[in-house]
Structure 1
Amino acid sequence: MSLERKGTKAVVPAGVVPKVGYVYDVRMKDHYNLNEVEYPHPEDPRRIYWIYDILDRSGCLQLMRWVHIQPVTDTQILRTHSRSHLAFLRTTELMEKPSLIAAQRKYEDVYLCALSQYCARLSAGGLLALCNEVARGHLHSGLAIIRPPGHHACQNKPMGFCLLNNIAITIKDLQTCSPVQRVLVVDWDVHHGNGIQELFYSDPTVLYISLHRYDEDFFPHGKAGDFTQLGKGPGKGYNINVPWTTEGVGDGDYLYAFRELILPVAREFAPEMIIVACGFDAAVCDPIGECNVTPECYATMTAMLKDVCPKIVLSLEGGYNLEAIANSALACAKALLDVKWQAGLVPEAATVSDYATLSSAEMNGLQATRATYVPAWLALPRWDPTKEVPECFAARPSELGKEVVDRVIQEVGPYWQCL
């Protein structure tokens, strides 16, 4: 496909129908921390705008189709969450600030405001709408630029910045209302998606694979993220955890896990759709994840999964360095689009000042101008995912990373012929 270039934008040739979709709604920024002045929060409302902005400036959005968002209904929520959980979220709409702060203290790493419940419905509804378009063949793939995230939300409670489990709600709806039944979830957020695991632990129609840090005191704690957690009953073998036991994990470790474990199992499972719990908090310079995954590696993993099943949707989860999540999302979007791309600059390490109180202008969707990253649209690429081998393929796994992956393969091997 040849593209005409105007400034920094790419103009789609006449007659070309976008086959990659995206969802984004500025109203999702209305979920914010009422204690922001006292406790700057990493799950910053600006996260989704920084991704949207870089995709717009790079020209990618001109090659993608925006999908309209509808908030998820009570019926859709109740396929995943309990009535008590839904009732709690609904009561928050009418709470004053002191009651909201008191309510959020009952849960682990959750903040609430009067619009949080509505934003969570929009977030889940955005992923659901995009996946429905892909499931029905109207789109090939997509990127859900949504918040609040969802993979920690359990059947009966919110936790870990998550109020509703976006991916679980979407899968339940797909299996009820669309032809898609077998879904692969790859969770590369640096935190274990305990909520997704809990909700599908006995379900052989959903293969859940998570790569995450699993060292002492790293959220979400407990034993759920261990490699011995393989599923239950008919779902035994359909839950695979790759638990990195230290910080500093990088491209070589992730790509080794993909080549030796994830891709073979994914092909044997033969999913009808892939949903990626697409957290970027294992990225270089993320202040929480403290790992070293590059935008190039995220793009490579996206391209690998797309080769397994072209119906793939990336759903934003964590990621707390604004530059890092923007660069990583741009790389993934270009992998979905099969266009040439050039990786951005390595972001600066984030500090607490990056989470400072938002101005009223930013809360209303207006952003100050920035000159931190100007993408080189159609510049000479570092790699072309359709023709060339990306540089990060040369990265070798660490000894510890290789040991973890090999141990997981040994544990799950009895359940998969490919291993």
Structure 2
Amino acid sequence: MKFHITTFGCQMNVHDSQWLASALESRGWRQTGEDEALVYILNTCSVRDKPEQKVYSELGRIAGHLRRDPGVFAAVGGCVAQQIGRGFFERFPFVRLVFGSDGIAGAPNALERIAAGMEERLALLDFMPTYDERESVPAQSVQFARQAFVTIMQGCDNFCAYCIVPYTRGRQKSRHPDAVVAECQALVDAGVREITLLGQNVNSFGMDKGGVGTTFAQLLRRVAAIKGLDRLRFTTSHPKDIAPEVIAAFGEYETLCPSLHLPLQSGSDAVLAAMRRRYTLDRYMGVVEALKRTRPEMALTTDFIVGFPGETERDFQATLDVMAAVGFESSFSFKYSDRPGVAAVNMEPKVAPEVAADRLMRLQTLQNSITRKCLKMLEGMETDVFIEGLSRMQGGEVPSWKGRDPAGRIVNVHMKKGHADDLVGMLVPVRIIEAKKHSLMGEGTGIPW
């Protein structure tokens, strides 16, 4: 059976799609281009309204493939599937399966049953009380360039006022630490060199009823100590839960990359309180200072929401001030939008759309300026770049490659003669020669390893 997966949203969705593809391929299914597929799988995101609307648009396009083959059908998974549920069956009759974030473990078997004509429609929407371990699939070291994601938990208990995630992904459920470490060890044994640990709030790992007493700091140390692992990352971190032991680990393990995505959302204590973030700006800045003391080369990125209900110009200016003070290398920033069922829907006063749009533009303009300065400071420095593939910037006698430095910055690498072989999945010594708007240019200086 030929299938095609389209993924919206976060890294957890990307990882879920990779796992689902491998699980189907292990059953003899074949992943193809959109024009050949008989089964279309959408892995969806509902954090904001725009990604949700993209799902409906994509389903409209898929409907056109029914003219090519009336046996074509679709499956919708992820957060929008959890939110809309069986409503997809009524609006789009060719949707035969909906599955939420907890239901993905059963999606491969469900798809097989539908494809074989054993089921007409299936909905896998129940939240599980504990983490449901998924079936093992072959390690994906070659397909994914010796990089891998490993999910350590599912769901969230924070209930921030603007966020739909606890309602679409359920309450927090941690995996057993031994299962996480075993998966990481198997990936490294198969050739993976870089692992990213994933969760809605990794710092609260083990703090739910499914936990067995292992903290995130303890799990991090176990994974960082795996022999043969070159780089370790994790995302996402909630500032209220990051422990001193996690910060200390950045100074203890070279494997742990000097980069951290630490969502701030607002620089105003009043707005943070209204958002129910449960930390103050002082707490956040204390974490930033501790991280930079522990690992001076630490690169920090963040998230911002502008135009949250009740946000004043003074509140927004506080956000700009914090952005400049911390020097975030990059940020994801969005205008607030109401999501169904969250507390902020009923909060007043709402910020006018044109005011929110203006604030977003001003914030992103400042971020672009900070990003350029951060990258400019790296010119002339030497680093190791993990090669992910060919660069779009070609033109020399030998290929140019795209990779990332330890902090996760994109580096386009021009190799000297003699180093033109396939370098995907290798670490290359590089000297940074030029800073671009959002990336770096480098030149290979040594033998890849």
Same fold by TM (over 0.5)? Answer: no
- By relative contact order (CA 8 Å, sep 6+), the higher-ranking structure is 1
Higher helix proportion = 1
TM-score (norm 2): 0.30
**Greater strand share, 1 or 2?**
2
Q: Who wins on radius of gyration, i.e. which is larger?
A: 2
Q: TM-score, normalised by structure 1?
A: 0.31
